[in-house]
């Protein structure tokens, strides 16, 4: 059986979790939280980092930080995870969904300007499959209309736009360590704050609306309730697990890139025969091998391929259902058709990609796909 995903345990997770237990401080913002945050700052040059319990929570923090109020509008792709939108809806925002590019699920930047109104407060760039959105042009629009840019970098760890780290290009970014992502802690996330104006408040929101973090650094002599907030920080057990993963990030990334390249090379003949499309990586983007997907011509072709692989005990999966057509949002959406988003909903297929997937297994999967398309 080849599952779609299998969490990879690097080896030191247990050791560091035991270390947390013997240190006797298990709640958040301790030794391992600090080690992880320092790792991210040093390796990727992020200005300010806070571990969170999920990417969803980091996005909710972003919505609080940019002070989303009832009626504010936020522009984002429809082809994304529920949390990208839900985080802003929780604070009363109206979501204005933009279509994806034709050949890539990322937001089509050409379509954004027409959607901006005097209520627009932010653009959310989702780096689908860890492949960068066109950030220079998104930031130009944001500057012109005085909007915030939030990067949903859930899938984009260790990925780059013109050699600049994804997560460092917007005002705020959110990463995920859910166990379907490249680097995992079961559930977990990271808030990156690049806009200096939000740094101080981010710590307060993180610690239930208190200035506890300042107190522990000895900057104030008592702590109390100073703002809104919630419990967004993970326990030290989660941070310890995450740190074991981070120590192995280069190894994990190298293996994932190897798998991705093998898939690409073996499936390219089917693309060359114009039967499927493989991911397109723009010149400005790097590939962090978060995901290997292919795009079929029709929904039936895609669904039958899923069945064909499943008959051989291989689990491939489709991905997002366009949010503008979701049960929750369809009546709130303004009727615009988003044809590229719908096309990815219908035709995109994700193949197994995890550290322990062997070259032979990849070959087997690719041969079955070739058999299906009679190539």
Ligand X SMILES: *Cc1c(COP(=O)(O)O)cnc(C)c1O
Backbone angles phi, psi at 8, to 5 degrees: -100, 125
The site string for ligand X over 141-180 (x = CB under 6 A, - otherwise) reads -----------x-xx--------------------x-x--
Sign, Cα dihedral of 100, 257, 155, 187: positive
Measured from the CB atom, the residue of 29 and 84 that comes closer to ligand X is 84
Tell whether residue 56 is a contact of ligand X (CB under 6 A). yes
Q: How far is the CB of 96 from ligand X (least distance, A)?
A: 18
Q: How far is the CB of 20 from ligand X (least distance, A)?
A: 21
Backbone angles phi, psi at 368, to 5 degrees: -65, -35
Backbone angles phi, psi at 333, to 5 degrees: -80, 155
Q: How far is the CB of 194 from ligand X (least distance, A)?
A: 18
Sign, Cα dihedral of 191, 288, 315, 125: positive
Tell whether residue 182 is a contact of ligand X (CB under 6 A). no
The site string for ligand X over 124-143 (x = CB under 6 A, - otherwise) reads --x-----------------
Q: How far is the CB of 219 from ligand X (least distance, A)?
A: 30
Tell whether residue 85 is a contact of ligand X (CB under 6 A). no
Measured from the CB atom, the residue of 155 and 210 that comes closer to ligand X is 155
Give the residue, chosen from 29, 33, 37, 83, that forms a contact with ligand X under the rule CB under 6 A.
Answer: 83
The encoded tokens of residue 139 equal 């930031």
Measured from the CB atom, the residue of 178 and 324 that comes closer to ligand X is 178
Between the alpha carbon of residue 243 and those of residues 26, 51, 154, the distances in Å are 15, 11, 17
Measured from the CB atom, the residue of 173 and 275 that comes closer to ligand X is 173
Torsion of CA 206, 211, 214, 220, to 10 degrees: 180
Q: Give the strand order in the sheet containing 94-98.
A: 48-52, 189-193, 172-176, 148-152, 120-126, 73-77, 94-98
The CA distance from 275 to 4, in Å, is 23
Between strands 172-176 and 148-152, the pairing is parallel
Q: How far is the CB of 57 from ligand X (least distance, A)?
A: 7
Query: Can you count the helices (H) and strands (E) in the chain?
Result: 12, 11
The encoded tokens of residue 299 equal 């929904």
The DSSP letter of residue 67 is T
Q: Which residue has the tokens 């297994």?
A: 361
Q: How far is the CB of 86 from ligand X (least distance, A)?
A: 9
Tell whether residue 245 is a contact of ligand X (CB under 6 A). no
Q: How far is the CB of 54 from ligand X (least distance, A)?
A: 3
**62 touches 322 (CB < 8 A):** no
Helix-helix angle 339-347:299-311, to 10 degrees: 20
Give the residue, chosen from 55, 192, 193, 362, that forms a contact with ligand X under the rule CB under 6 A.
Answer: 55
Give the residue, chosen from 29, 78, 80, 346, that forms a contact with ligand X under the rule CB under 6 A.
Answer: 80
Q: Considering only residues 35 through 54, tell me which ones interact with ligand X, judged by CB under 6 A.
A: 54
The number of residues that bind ligand X (CB under 6 A) is: 14
Tell whether residue 121 is a contact of ligand X (CB under 6 A). no
Measured from the CB atom, the residue of 150 and 213 that comes closer to ligand X is 150
Q: Which residue has the tokens 């096309």?
A: 343
Measured from the CB atom, the residue of 19 and 179 that comes closer to ligand X is 179
Q: How far is the CB of 156 from ligand X (least distance, A)?
A: 9
Tell whether residue 81 is a contact of ligand X (CB under 6 A). yes
The encoded tokens of residue 114 equal 């027409």
Within a 13 Å sphere around the CA of 367, how many CA atoms are in the beta-carbon half?
Answer: 7
Give the residue, chosen from 30, 170, 189, 234, that forms a contact with ligand X under the rule CB under 6 A.
Answer: 189
Among 4-12, 76-84, 138-146, 304-312, which window interacts with ligand X (CB under 6 A)?
76-84
The CA distance from 342 to 100, in Å, is 9
Residues that bind ligand X (CB under 6 A): 54-56, 80-81, 83-84, 126, 152, 154-155, 176, 178, 189
């Amino acid at each position: 059986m080849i599952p779609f995903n299998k969490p990879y345990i690097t080896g030191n997770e247990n050791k560091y979790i035991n270390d947390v237990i013997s240190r006797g401080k298990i709640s958040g913002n301790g030794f391992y939280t600090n080690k992880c945050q320092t790792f991210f700052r040093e390796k990727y040059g992020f200005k300010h980092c806070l571990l969170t319990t999920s990417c969803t929570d980091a996005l909710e923090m972003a919505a609080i930080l940019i002070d989303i109020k009832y009626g504010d509008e936020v522009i984002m792709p429809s082809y994304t995870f529920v949390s990208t939108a839900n985080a802003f809806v929780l604070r009363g925002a109206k979501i204005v969904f933009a279509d994806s590019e034709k050949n890539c699920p990322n937001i089509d930047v050409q379509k954004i300007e027409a959607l901006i109104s005097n209520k627009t407060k932010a653009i959310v760039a989702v780096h689908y499959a860890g492949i960068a959105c066109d950030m220079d042009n998104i930031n130009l629009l944001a500057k012109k209309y005085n909007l915030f840019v939030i990067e949903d970098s859930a899938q984009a760890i260790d990925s780059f736009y013109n050699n600049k780290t994804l997560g460092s290009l917007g005002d705020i970014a959110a990463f995920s360590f859910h166990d379907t992502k490249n680097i995992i802690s079961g559930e977990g996330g990271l808030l990156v704050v690049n806009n200096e104006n939000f740094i101080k408040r981010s710590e307060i929101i993180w610690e239930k609306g208190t200035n506890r973090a300042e107190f522990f650094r000895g900057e104030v002599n008592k702590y109390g309730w100073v703002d809104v907030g919630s419990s967004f920080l993970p326990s030290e057990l989660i941070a310890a697990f995450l740190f074991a993963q981070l120590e192995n990030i280069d190894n994990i990334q190298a293996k994932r890139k190897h798998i991705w390249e093998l898939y690409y090379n073996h499936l390219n003949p089917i693309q060359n025969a114009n039967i499927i499309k493989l991911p397109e990586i723009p010149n400005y983007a790097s590939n962090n091998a978060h995901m290997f997907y292919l795009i079929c011509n029709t929904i039936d072709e895609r669904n039958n391929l899923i069945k064909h692989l499943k008959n051989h005990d291989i689990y491939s999966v489709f991905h997002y259902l366009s949010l503008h057509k979701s049960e929750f949002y369809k009546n709130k959406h303004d009727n615009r058709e988003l044809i590229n988003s719908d096309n990815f909903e219908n035709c995109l297929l994700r193949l197994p990609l995890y550290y322990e997937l062997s070259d032979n297994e990849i070959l087997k999967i690719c041969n079955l796909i070739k058999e299906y398309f009679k190539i």
